Structure formats: structure tokens, C-alpha cells
Amino acid sequence: MKKISLFLSIVFFVLSCSENKIEVNQEENKVDFFQKQNQQKKYQLKNKSSVQEWLQYNQLSEYVKEINNENFSMFIDNDVFLKKFFKEVSISIPDDLNLSEITSRLSVVETDFWVFIDKLNSLHEKKKLDDQIEKINISFSNLNFQIDKIHIKKK
């Protein structure tokens, strides 16, 4: 009788542990899903005409999309190209947007990119990059918001 009781206790324990693992995995998947949804809900530029001619902005937007799609290959060990790119972005700002509000937002986006790239090159673990991806999305959203705000003021 004691053996049966011990056996049932062990079986119960193992089953309860496996259920906890399943629950933890489901929770992680929910968190990943909501993080993805939140990344996609960032402020999108409404007035695209103000940046239509600004090729570097469009390229930056593509880089943000690549990061959100978890395609990091372009950013691994590509520091020279990215330094040149961010320099071109700041130099090529259209005259009507070449204001301190925009340059400061661009500076934040660039800083967030460099922190992301540093973590990417040193960690190679996606989980540890989520916070930095979120920061890039927020700073890029702030840039978009500021561009729209400037456009509205000029009307």
C-alpha cells in the first residue's frame, strides 16, 4: 500500500511539474505575441509627403522594419556602413525639417540603434534584444510624430 501511495505521489508530482512548464511556455508565447503587437502599434508617419524625397529616412524606416521582423543580418559586424549611413541621414535632412526637434530625435534613434547593435554583436540572444528593439520603435515613433507635428505647424 505504501508503495502504491509513493508511486501515485511521484506520478502526481511529475504531472504537475509538466503542467507548469506548459503554462510557462504559454505565458512566454503570450508575452512575445503582445510585444510584437505593441511594436507594430507605434506611431506611423501620417504625412509621407514631407519625407518622400528624403531617401535616408525611407532607408531608416526599412531598417526599423527589418529589426521588427527579426532580420538582424544586416546589422551584424557592419559598423562602418552604419556610421556612414547615420552621418548621411543627419546631413540629408530636408530644409523644412532641419530643426532641432528633428535632429535631436534622430540622435536618439541613432543612439538606440548603436546600443542595439552592440548588444546584438555581443549577445546573439534574441530575448535580450527585445527591450532595445522596443526602444528603437519608440524613438522612431517619436521622430515620426515630430515630423507630422512640424508639418501641421507649417500649414
pLDDT tens string 57-88: 999 999 999 999 988 888 888 889 999 999 99
d(Cα 74, Cα 119) in Å, to the nearest integer?
14
In degrees rounded to 5, what are phi and psi of residue 43? -60, 125
pLDDT, tens digit, 9 for 90 and up, residues 3-56: 676 666 676 666 666 555 555 455 555 555 445 555 455 778 888 888 888 999
User: How is the chain split into domains, by residue range?
Assistant: 1-41, 45-154
Name residues whose C-beta falls within 8 Å of residue 85's C-beta, 6 or more positions apart in sequence.
Answer: 56, 59
The rounded distance, in Å, linking the Cα atoms of 75 and 115 is 12
pLDDT in tens, 40-55: 557 788 888 888 889 9
Model pTM score: 0.70
130 — pLDDT class (breaks 50, 70, 90) = confident
DSSP 8-state class, residue 1: -
Q: 111 pLDDT exceeds 90?
A: yes
Decide: helix, strand or coil at residue 99.
coil
